Amino acid sequence: MNDVYEKLIQMEVGKVRADEPLANHTTMKIGGPADLFIEPSSIENLQRTMGVIIEHKIPWRAIGRGSNLLVSDNGIEGAVIKLGRGLDGIDLQGTVLTAGGGVSLVSLSVQISKKGLAGLEFASGIPGSVGGSVYMNAGAHGSDISSILKKAHILFEDGTMDWLTKDQMEFSYRTSVLQKKRPGIVLEAVFELEEGNKEEIVARMQKNKTYRKETQPYNLPCAGSIFRNPLPKYAGQLVEDAGLKGHKIGGAQISPMHGNFIVNAGGGKAEDVLALIQHVKDTIYDQFKIQMETEVEIIGRK
């Protein structure tokens, strides 16, 4: 791994660090070190980085702003590629928006609303990146990324790049083709928006933001929704019905505000969160015979 580290430093691909604590890069503020942590400064440098990773057969994964992630206390083997500065460009041509994979979804939705364009209001409180939101088809308030995406620029695990159309992304609930069938990194996304009334759009954004602030615990470190909704049931309501809101294991707590959020209440570890997740699964199955599935992505060494 030292050889790879030195090689990437010499290639000047961007920020490169060894044994970087991922607690510094996740919204839950939990996670052990990555063997190698890389924040490429451009798409070209990301592709060059991937070439080195492939050459040395190093396991890898990409992250954006670190939401929807629970990283093991033991860290991650291999390389973690962070999409940030260098992949955060924005271009707007009429109603067609192109955004880099490292762009903050919240920031983007605010900027677009001020231009009187509709379509991203649902994203005003989603604390992730454009890349991550496309990867998992993020959504809220009755809409999701698939409703506005035209195409996405992907770097695949073999080092090749291509554009995938909305249909080729094979979107479904919180899922895309990138999660299993065709692993890759979202470099850019192109969205089709609609012209609208600026005041009405901003009002809808504010309404969504206020709702999230009043009902979800973003004042504490968390990863977003922990469980997928077992439709027509809702995960948060099931947790509440099971009497689990506020339940705590170690530094991890089910939010008293919303049953589908686990917060780092102070000194929380991944093992605490995992134990709490399992307790919720067991309790809800015992009471309602419903198998709960996690929406948060759990990664890293066992």
Tens digit of each residue's pLDDT (9 = 90 or more) over 113-160: 999 999 999 988 888 899 999 999 998 888 999 999 999 999 999 999
- Reported confidence tier of residue 36, pLDDT bands at 50, 70, 90: very high
> Is 225 part of the annotated catalytic residue set?
yes
Q: What percent of the chain has pLDDT over 70?
A: 100
pLDDT of residue 125: 80
Section 13-21 average pLDDT: 97
Distance CA 147, CA 92 (A): 18
> Is 295 part of the annotated catalytic residue set?
yes
CATH of the domain at 110: 3.30.465.10
State the residue range of the domain holding 175.
90-214
- Reported confidence tier of residue 45, pLDDT bands at 50, 70, 90: very high
pLDDT of residue 238: 98
180-207 b/e (C-beta count within 10 Å ≥ 16 → b): eebbbbbbbbbbebeebeeeebbebbee
pLDDT at 190 over 90: yes
CATH of the domain at 33: 3.30.43.10
Question: Are residues 203 and 233 located together in one domain of the fold?
Answer: no
- Locate 217 and state its tokens: 């615990």
Catalytic residue (one of 65, 174, 204, 212)? 174
pLDDT at 60 over 90: yes
pLDDT of residue 174: 87
Question: Are residues 101 and 51 located together in one domain of the fold?
Answer: no
> Is 107 part of the annotated catalytic residue set?
no
Q: What angle do CA 30, 36, 40 make, to 5 degrees?
A: 100
pLDDT of residue 127: 83
pLDDT (tens digit, 9 = 90+) per residue, 197-228? Answer: 999 998 998 888 888 888 899 889 999 999 99
Distance CA 264, CA 83 (A): 24
pTM of this prediction? 0.90
pLDDT of residue 139: 87
Catalytic residue (one of 104, 124, 146, 225)? 225
Tokens 């890898």 locate to 60
**How many structural domains comprise the chain?**
3
- Locate 270 and state its tokens: 């991944």
Question: Are residues 148 and 50 located together in one domain of the fold?
Answer: no
Calculate the average pLDDT of the chain. Answer: 95
pLDDT of residue 48: 97
Distance CA 128, CA 64 (A): 7
